[in-house]
Amino acid sequence: MATDRTGMKNAEDAWIAKYRAALKKVPVELSRSSKVREALNRAHSITVSHIGRMLARSLGPSRWKKSAQPVEAKSASQAQASNRNLAESNAKVA
């Protein structure tokens, strides 16, 4: 009985080795839909990358520095007056 099992084990090992060798020789070809999906994914990533770069250039800090107008600082009395007006309007609503 022990010799029968050894023979079967050797036969299985030989078959597995033969199967693995065959897999290495034959390249797996992608289906047409997989190729199309890969092409679309590449095109999508390239498009998003280009749009991101364009937006980064147009919305970058260098553009804001050129077009930004200096903001006048409010005086302390103006800030207090606007806070009072806000508090009064909130009290009237409530």
Which contiguous run of DSSP H or E holds residue 6?
helix 2-25
Residue spans of the domains in the chain: they are: 32-57
Per-residue pLDDT of the chain (94 residues; tens, 9 = 90+): 455 677 778 889 999 999 988 888 877 788 999 999 999 999 999 999 999 999 988 887 766 665 555 555 555 566 666 666 666 666 555 5
Q: What pLDDT sits at residue 41? A: 98
Q: Tell me how far apart the alpha carbons of residues 86 and 82 are, in angstroms, rounded to a whole number.
A: 6
Q: Tell me how far apart the alpha carbons of residues 40 and 88 are, in angstroms, rounded to a whole number.
A: 60
Q: What pLDDT sits at residue 57? A: 87
Predicted TM-score (pTM) of the model is 0.38
Q: Tell me how far apart the alpha carbons of residues 39 and 48 are, in angstroms, rounded to a whole number.
A: 14
